[in-house]
Amino acid sequence: MTTTDRVVIFDTTLRDGEQSPGATMTHEEKLEIAEMLDDMGVDIIEAGFPIASEGDFNAVSEIARRSKDAVICGLSRANFKDIDRCWEAVKNAGKPRIHTFIGTSPLHRAIPNLTQDEMAERIHDTVTHARNLCDNVQWSPMDATRTEWDYLKRVVEIAIKAGASTINIPDTVGYTAPVESADLIRRLIAECEGGEDVIFATHCHNDLGMATANSLAAVEGGARQIECTINGLGERAGNTALEEVVMAMKTRSDIMPFHTNVDTTKIMAISRRVSTVSGFLVQPNKAIVGKNAFAHESGIHQDGMLKNRENFEIMRPEDIGLSGTSLPLGKHSGRAALRAKMDELGYDLGDNQLNDLFVRMKALADRKKEVFDEDLIALMRDEAADDQNEYLKVKRLRVVCGTDGPQEAELTLEIDGEDKSIDATGDGPVDATFNAVKMLFPHNARLELYQVHAVTQGTDAQATVSVRMNEEGRIATGQSADTDTVVASAKAYVNALNRLIVRREQTDVGYDEKDVSYKDV
């Protein structure tokens, strides 16, 4: 028997997280992430915004159909058309939920140009409509933390009366602070008619770096649902990170007597997967899931750790799914060792996937002596990119470098099944290579980001390259890893172009998310 209060975890990686520029995921990737969230014990999955695009609608419907234990929720603005579309998408879930919202602060009220009374009526009508379709309705006053108290209280009471069973209080622009966050929830529960009969949720953005603290403070004030994303993915500075709030409540249950249903040993695997599919690398010093979160470099720390790990560790790496020891694989390692290692890293691979990875691992071991966990994760990222039906593929690359440039690149690309080659020059080998790609596949996309990270240490380390491209507002990211930085760069660039081609096709058939705006109600 547990004596602590249960906090419901509502994950919005696939909705608020996917909304961050460049984080767009494919249909299959969304299904995979939803399955991982369900398997790790997340209570509610906000799977998307069904009216936003045909792609979003299909993803939410399929996630609903495949759901196991989790409630599947879709987002809708405060109009009947959005709500009907949302219901269509979630209704096949074992446990469906409609989430409807409207901006209630003075700034947000001005956008649809509704008076306070008109908006109040709209809230009553839309929540009633949602409730007639679905037993489980969540309502959010967007920008709640900048809404006048009297008006916030009034509209929350209207939503409760109309049948919403969860009232979410979003800090849409990351403006609140912990004391205020706790007070607001406490006051809403105490002073709103019906406030004791519903669940209050907290939904924080991280603009001032306080999302985790604000969410936990809201729980202290009486909220029993935290809205969050894996790796803190989300618009601007992101949303509250799931791994942070869950591990904070687990680690400090002495002062935060709350528990969740999340199997924390699955955190690392989903963090890696979300990083891969979103193209958003996790910063090395990120709490809980950063590469250095459990690394102890300095001599004094290492000495302390050897004497007693609790000297410098407040959580055990095993609690989030990291193995305590990390033995590298090499040229002579067999399939069984690779399978055991991948299981340990949280990858559940089928036989064919394992065989493909084994071939790549051997090829890598020929080029670098030891293959570390990070190398295998990078190989998995590349494999995911290769798996997709790609229009463009890097077939051959040779660069000529010298101190007295320009550098030259000879590149062969497979374009829609046909090999095409060209020589190009540039200011450095990467520039020459990118120029060659552009000559073979002319496009207007702007390169917005080019980043290189060494996966492990040593001069034979693999480099992970991330790029972000922007073509008239369509954003796509690409990643690749190789012991040769220029090869990794070419593959990452081509990977981003392939994703951009998919985005173009979606736009051409009118699926573009830009068609809807939070400003319309």
Binding site for ligand KIV (CB under 6 A): 16, 101, 140, 142, 170, 172, 203, 205
Q: Which is nearer to Zn ion, 16 or 18 (CB)?
A: 16
Q: Which does 140 bind (CB under 5 to 8 A by kind): Zn ion, ligand KIV, none?
A: ligand KIV
Q: Which is nearer to Zn ion, 142 or 488 (CB)?
A: 142
**CB–CB of 46/14 below 8 Å?**
yes
Q: How far is the CB of 518 from ligand KIV (least distance, A)?
A: 7
Q: How far is the CB of 101 from ligand KIV (least distance, A)?
A: 5
Q: How far is the CB of 56 from ligand KIV (least distance, A)?
A: 14
Q: Which is nearer to Zn ion, 20 or 462 (CB)?
A: 20
Q: Which is nearer to ligand KIV, 203 or 224 (CB)?
A: 203
Q: Which does 238 bind (CB under 5 to 8 A by kind): Zn ion, ligand KIV, none?
A: none
Computed over its alpha carbons, how large is the radius of gyration of the chain? 25
Q: Are strands 463-471 and 199-204 parallel, antiparallel or unpaired?
A: unpaired
The DSSP letter of residue 146 is G
Q: Which is nearer to ligand KIV, 100 or 489 (CB)?
A: 100
- Other CB atoms within a 10 A radius of the CB of residue 49 amount to 27
Q: How far is the CB of 204 from ligand KIV (least distance, A)?
A: 8
**How far apart are alpha carbons 247 and 266 in whole angstroms?**
12
**CB–CB of 51/35 below 8 Å?**
no
What is Dmax (Cα atoms) for the chain?
77
- Burial (CB count <10 Å: 0-12, 13-18, 19+), residue 264: buried
Q: Which does 101 bind (CB under 5 to 8 A by kind): ligand KIV, Zn ion, none?
A: ligand KIV
**CB–CB of 188/159 below 8 Å?**
no
Q: Which is nearer to ligand KIV, 28 or 207 (CB)?
A: 207
Q: Which does 142 bind (CB under 5 to 8 A by kind): Zn ion, ligand KIV, none?
A: ligand KIV
The DSSP letter of residue 16 is I
Instruction: At 190, list the tokens.
Output: 């105490």
Question: Within 10-49, which residues bind Zn ion (CB under 5 A)?
Answer: 16
**How far apart are alpha carbons 447 and 291 in whole angstroms?**
27
Q: How far is the CB of 395 from ligand KIV (least distance, A)?
A: 43
Q: Which is nearer to Zn ion, 233 or 248 (CB)?
A: 233
Place of tokens 């649902």: 225
Helices (H) and strands (E) in the chain, counts: 16, 16
Q: How far is the CB of 455 from ligand KIV (least distance, A)?
A: 34
**CB–CB of 101/142 below 8 Å?**
yes
> Which position's Cβ is nearest Zn ion?
16
Determine, following the binding rule CB under 5 A, whether residue 382 of this chain makes contact with Zn ion.
Answer: no
Which residues are bridge partners to 226 per DSSP? 9, 202
Which residues are bridge partners to 463 per DSSP? 454, 482
Helix (H, G, I), strand (E, B) or coil at 233: coil
Q: How far is the CB of 229 from Zn ion (least distance, A)?
A: 9
**CB–CB of 501/471 below 8 Å?**
no
Q: Which is nearer to ligand KIV, 140 or 498 (CB)?
A: 140
Which is nearest to 75 in space by CA: 98, 108, 42? 98
CA torsion sign for 144, 147, 151, 153 is: positive
Q: Which is nearer to Zn ion, 10 or 347 (CB)?
A: 10
Question: Within 501-520, which residues bind Zn ion (CB under 5 A)?
Answer: none
Q: How far is the CB of 158 from ligand KIV (least distance, A)?
A: 17
Q: How far is the CB of 227 from ligand KIV (least distance, A)?
A: 7
Which is nearest to 13 in space by CA: 167, 38, 399? 38
Q: Which is nearer to Zn ion, 16 or 62 (CB)?
A: 16
Q: How far is the CB of 205 from ligand KIV (least distance, A)?
A: 6
**How far apart are alpha carbons 6 and 259 in whole angstroms?**
5
Interaction site with Zn ion (CB under 5 A): 16
